[in-house]
Structure 1
């Protein structure tokens, strides 16, 4: 019996990454491009992303940067329309945009509640809906949302953020069930604390860093490459039978 190696290539694909200017989003764009995909960068400031565009183009990929202010539905519609004008299709969506202003539950202000729910839940849904409609038309696609271990474990001072990520995980299961008949897979990747500009202030405090490490059986803070490996896998043909899944990249935090 002939055996074939699994296919992790994204050759010929078009991937849209939201929040692509830095951190996990930037790393996802670079990793998907390295795997062979052309890239649509969803960013707040197109001009400020010129260096990333140049880096990706230097790797031989076709790149489009689009202004994207989530959850502004008009921005989402314009970004998707621009992407389709340039590429005619979107094969992979990486939902990366999210916010996490933390506070003890009894001290949470309504403006912070609104921001988290609007960006993390409403924004993720509207972005997924807009791209999902196109994927249904083209009878195929991969949707990957960057969730968090916070959807699975309780983090003190992050009740609203945890709630929002749990909502994304369940939305993912619902959409996976609805869109499977269109050959659209929908999954989440849930990282632990990852070294990024956003986590740097928290992790630079030795007490915070040690408290975090105490929860991670593998004994280290994550790097963006730990996350993007999971994203490329779920976007690739190797994951064609996976949908409705939540892939934890948490060093064992959730099972410790």
Structure 2
């Protein structure tokens, strides 16, 4: 199982984010191509596309009133995701418990991508 990590920006059109959105869309395309090329050998490829995830890099911003308000306004869950939530999905994928999933992008974004 190949698990690529992309971003929910793959499906967004965001101002001043052309390169970022394009690069994340490319990760999705690469995943589909890998699945097509390697599936016959029993190798699956899946793209995991997180939304806003609280990390050491952005914790100050996401903890600020401005950051918290931005995330809350764009998510039905009213919070950023956590690293362990993404890790749980990746762990499930690499465990082999979802053997028929191939070439797909799985959006793990707490509804950010559909609520913008």
Q: Are the aligned partners of 1:230 and 1:247 in contact in 2 as well (CA < 8 Å)?
A: no
| Structure 2: 5+ residue stretches without partners | none
Q: Give the TM-score taking structure 2 as reference length.
A: 0.90
**TM-fit CA distance, 1:151:** 0.7
Aligned counterpart, 2:58? 199
**What SS is found at the alignment partner of 2:25?**
helix
- Report the CA distance shift for 1:163/1:198 in structure 2 as closer, same or farther (over 3 A): same
Aligned counterpart, 1:152? 11
How many residue pairs end up in the alignment? 115
Relative contact order (C-alpha < 8 Å, sep 6+): which is higher?
2
- Report the CA distance shift for 1:171/1:231 in structure 2 as closer, same or farther (over 3 A): same
Q: Are the aligned partners of 1:151 and 1:165 in contact in 2 as well (CA < 8 Å)?
A: yes
**TM-fit CA distance, 1:213:** 1.6
Q: Give the TM-score taking structure 1 as reference length.
A: 0.43
Q: Are the aligned partners of 2:68 and 2:79 in contact in 1 as well (CA < 8 Å)?
A: no
Q: Distance in 1 between matches of 2:25 and 2:2?
A: 17
| Structure 1: 5+ residue stretches without partners | 1-141
**TM-fit CA distance, 1:201:** 4.0
Structure number, greater radius of gyration? 1
Aligned counterpart, 1:246? 105
Q: Are the aligned partners of 2:71 and 2:78 in contact in 1 as well (CA < 8 Å)?
A: no
Q: CA RMSD in A?
A: 1.4
